[in-house]
């Protein structure tokens, strides 16, 4: 994308350093954009939640949210008791 090089040129040296360190910490290329870092983090979080909620590794965010809502309903101390 053309806007990524332009955005990288506009960031301050301090912001660039933070972005590069963040990317390297995540095992990404140091020229990775913030958008790509955020997408990487979201994918990692999705995978962790699929394991925690015992869903298939390819579960969608919609499936994760639904499973989490069901988990909350079952485990919440404020749920209705019949």
Q: Cβ(23)–Cβ(29) under 8 Å?
A: yes
0.85 cut: is pTM over it? no
Q: What is the pLDDT of residue 15?
A: 95
Domain ranges for the chain, please list them. Answer: 3-75
Q: How far is the C-alpha of 56 from the C-alpha of 54, rounded, in Å? A: 7
Residue written as token pair 């298939």: 56
Widest CA span in the chain: 61
- Rounded to 5°, the CA angle 35-50-22 comes to 30
Q: Write out pLDDT tens, residues 6-35.
A: 555 678 999 999 999 999 999 999 999 999
Q: What is the pLDDT of residue 76?
A: 80
Q: Write out pLDDT tens, residues 36-67.
A: 999 999 999 999 999 999 999 999 999 999 99
- Alpha helices per DSSP H over the chain: 3-10, 13-25, 34-52, 61-75
């Amino acid at each position: 994308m053309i806007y990524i090089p332009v955005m990288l040129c506009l960031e301050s040296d301090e912001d660039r350093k933070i972005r590069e360190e963040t990317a390297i910490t995540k095992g990404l290329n140091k020229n990775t954009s913030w958008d790509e870092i955020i997408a990487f983090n979201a994918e990692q979080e999705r995978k962790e939640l699929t394991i925690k909620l015992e869903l298939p590794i390819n579960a969608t965010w919609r499936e994760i949210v639904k499973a989490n809502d069901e988990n909350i309903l079952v485990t919440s101390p404020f749920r209705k008791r019949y």
